[in-house]
Amino acid sequence: MNASQRHEFFRRLQAANPQPETELEYTSPFELLIAVVLSAQATDVSVNKATRKLYAVANTPAAILALGEEQLSGFIKTIGLYRTKAKNIIATCRILLERHGGEVPAERAALEALPGVGRKTANVILNTVFGEPTMAVDTHIFRLANRTGLAPGKDVMEVEHKLLKNIPEEFLQDAHHWLILHGRYVCKARLPECWRCVVVDLCNFKPKTLISPEGTS
């Protein structure tokens, strides 16, 4: 995919969804941080179901720390790896209170120093909360970047660096959300729905057919 094709790729995604947003529900940077930590190997739908109940009771570092690990586990037990996540969240809340005045830090190093927060989570917070043009490469973005030819790479870091290099600057701020949503709902893992893809003619992937479930091509 050349530079002009990449520009057109994102122009179309922008036209289809001018103001893309995360599907995780949150009302503060802290709520988003916890939701992203919980979303590892879990769906946004399952995280939202859990956090609606949790945040109604505790939605600050102090309040969640006061709950303790066992009570927190009760709120998130429907989410995979919930015991490990509960332990990490309690530790993160303690660090936020002790080192950052209860606020979510805006620096990558400080974010990645929080238990359960890796590069991808830090990128989400830096992009969504602090407006930095970062690229959080999840399974959807990794698949889409390779399948379309937008930024092929053998690992997450390679794809991240290529995306940051290849995406036109004017689209970089929202590109993370466009790619996730496109990978989640259109460019699906097993059966990409090319028949309704707005960038199908720019993509390297060549499906056997563009026939829709209704039988129209």
Token code pair at residue 180: 């996730």
Q: Are 117 and 37 in contact (CB under 8 A)?
A: yes
Integer angstrom CA distances of residue 146 from 40, 105, 113, 205 = 21, 32, 30, 9
d(CA 200, CA 207): 10
120 is catalytic: yes
CA–CA dist 142, 136 (Å, integer): 10
Catalytic residue among 53, 120, 174, 188: 120
Concerning whether 201 is annotated as a catalytic residue, the answer is no
Are residues 179 and 141 in contact, defined by beta-carbon separation less than 8 angstroms?
yes
Q: How far apart are CA 72 and CA 141, in angstroms?
A: 31
Q: Which of 44, 85, 138, 208 is catalytic?
A: 138
Q: Which sequence positions are flagged as catalytic? A: 120, 138
